[in-house]
Amino acid sequence: MSATTLPQEPLDFETHPDRYRHWKLAVEGDIATLTMAVQQDGGQRPGYELKLNSYDLGVDIELADATRRIVFEHPEVRCVVVTGGLDRVFCAGANINMLSTSTHAFKVNFCKFTNETRLYLEDASTHSGTAWLAALNGTASGGGYELALACDRILLVDDRSSAVSFPELPLLGVLPGTGGLTRIADKRKIRRDLNDVFSTVAEGIKGKRAVQWNLVDRIAPLSRWEEEVASMARELADARPARGTKGIVLDPIAPERDGDVSKYRYVTLELDRKARTAALTLALAGDAGPQTPAEALAAGSDWWVFRAFRELDHALLDLRMNQSEIGVVTLRVTGDPGVMLATDELLTKDDDGDGGWFVHETRHFVKRVLKRLENTAKSFYAVLDGGTACAGTTFELALACDRIYLLNDPETPVSVGLGKVHDGTYPMANGLSRLETRFLGEPEALARVREHAGTMLDAETADELGLATFAPDEIDWEDELRIALEERASFSPDALTGMESNLRFAGPETLETKIFGRLSAWQNWIFQRPNAVGERGALKCYGTPQRPEFDYNRT
């Protein structure tokens, strides 16, 4: 295998605690413990060892799975303790040899997935009532400290050697690329000069100074470590309300693959490798199913909307990590739009009764899948033609795309349905709804669209309201769509990724948009510069007797 070749086997993002190699999940009452004990020879591909609890994509896949299982399978949990299982080390961060032998695209998508998982921790804290405590039993460096920063509180062992650090700049010539600099500046609000010192001191900061600089919340000596962890976890749990007592079982999501076609229960992904395009289709259920939170809870993983968006999430990750040559994706939703609107009535209910927590969490899960789509470096074109059903939540899918093509033909009616979900049920990374973002400079147009909430619109009306990018008639439809796809697939993928990242998140800047904007810009650039990945770049020389050689010209 060459130094820049991805694994031949497709990456799979499905796992289960029974198959974890790097994490242990234990639940006792309302407190869960996630212990990181990375198997040194358990790398996701050959060629590197995961020393000192360093991580690769396989480690992150397990963490993402554990986070989701805590939310859905253990709603009783009110605090999660994240700690290390090795002596005197919490986590050394992303494995350097893994990074230096990965393709550029893999590095960026690895960082993106890692930070989506950390944002999931923060989302669970904000919306699911689950507090997170990073119990740093040893040094946390780079991505290890970034994971701690995603938690609500950080406790560091005071053993005279354990520290928190960002060694990326001084040792590797890169940056804490999965939100590290953003979180110390915008989340913990550490002073600029202290951030400057911290980010350039490879050995990091420990003990009382780490507390004084607000890099951690508390320290505890080894003699009182377990007692302090338990006390802090109890304190965090008691401050959160109870959610539920009965969870659901997350059944596996496994598509049937036939060549370039992956078929799930509700989602189908078809690849056209020659054209560098893909067709992603979500088929609605035959009926809305559950009408109450209790019925939704009884359906569990089989509640069709939950299952469909889990499948969509799986397909998006497949496109990202396994289908790098695919540049353009068409997205269709088929079925009866009334099914989606009826399901939306349940999704938008706030009910504290039996099953209310599950509806609540499903709503937030759909929100995160929509964000995953918007953070995926593919061009997405929503296609609304005969048989499609974009209404409510599925119209949010269309709004998340870069363009919307709507067939305007009286003989082939195509309806667009607007509902409650467009008023902020699924906020974007910028904190706004997709309709607010679409009409950011046109408040009058937004008001006109909102007047049609709860109604089905014909193609002509939808186009007049600005809900379509193009609305060709039957004569021009096939040619216009074909030309649009061919043109898009012919452009530079690098330039498209940059353009899309700039255009998708108009409006207010948030911690989340900063993280992904910087990831796209800084890391896309810095990860390719000779100072990092050249023959004598810092990433290449790390762990060898060679010293890196830098081009010291500032750009």
CA–CA separation, 466 vs 443, rounded Å? Answer: 12
Superfamily of domain 257-491: 2-enoyl-CoA Hydratase; Chain A, domain 1 (3.90.226.10)
H or E element, residue 165: strand 163-165
Strand partners, 32: 27, 80
Short-list 353, 442, 459, CA closest to 407: 459
CA–CA separation, 142 vs 122, rounded Å? Answer: 19
Q: How many residues does the chain have?
A: 555
Q: Check if 17-238 and 257-491 are the same fold.
A: yes
Instruction: Tell me how far CA of residue 345 lies from CA of 66, 338, 416, 457, 465, in angstroms.
Output: 30, 11, 17, 19, 24
CA–CA separation, 387 vs 209, rounded Å? Answer: 63
- Whether 459 has a pLDDT exceeding 60, the answer reads yes
Domains in the chain: boundaries: 17-238, 257-491, 498-541
Confidence of residue 1 (pLDDT cuts 50, 70, 90): very low
| 383-390 average pLDDT score | 94
CA–CA separation, 290 vs 488, rounded Å? Answer: 41
Instruction: Tell me how far CA of residue 50 lies from CA of 1, 56, 115, 161, 322, in angstroms.
Output: 19, 8, 20, 21, 23
Kindly report, residue by residue over 25-71, the tens digit of the pLDDT: 999 999 999 999 999 999 999 999 999 999 999 999 999 999 999 99
Short-list 551, 528, 545, 549, CA closest to 100: 528
pLDDT of residue 5: 45
Kindly report, residue by residue over 208-240, the tens digit of the pLDDT: 999 999 999 999 999 999 999 999 999 999 999
H or E element, residue 364: helix 356-374
Tokens standing for 430?
């910028």
| 433-450 average pLDDT score | 96
Alpha helix stretches (DSSP H) within 39-140: 57-73, 96-100, 104-127
Number of H helices, E strands in the chain: 22, 20
Instruction: Tell me how far CA of residue 460 lies from CA of 71, 410, 464, in angstroms.
Output: 43, 9, 6
Tokens standing for 29?
């009452």
Confidence of residue 4 (pLDDT cuts 50, 70, 90): very low
CA–CA separation, 367 vs 528, rounded Å? Answer: 32
CATH of domain 17-238: 3.90.226.10
CA–CA separation, 67 vs 63, rounded Å? Answer: 6
Do 142 and 114 meet the contact criterion of CB atoms below 8 Å apart? no
Q: How many Cα atoms sit within 13 Å of 536 on the Cβ side?
A: 7
Task: Report pTM.
Answer: 0.95
Short-list 209, 181, 207, CA closest to 195: 181
CA–CA separation, 411 vs 146, rounded Å? Answer: 55
Tokens standing for 322?
């396994």
- Whether 315 has a pLDDT exceeding 70, the answer reads yes
Bigger pLDDT: 352 or 366? 366
pLDDT of residue 104: 84
Bigger pLDDT: 516 or 227? 227
The DSSP call for residue 547 is: P
Question: How much is the mean pLDDT over the chain?
Answer: 94
Ranges 15-24, 198-207, 532-541: which has the least confidence = 532-541
Instruction: Tell me how far CA of residue 374 lies from CA of 88, 265, 471, 511, 554, in angstroms.
Output: 39, 23, 23, 16, 33
- Whether 526 has a pLDDT exceeding 90, the answer reads no
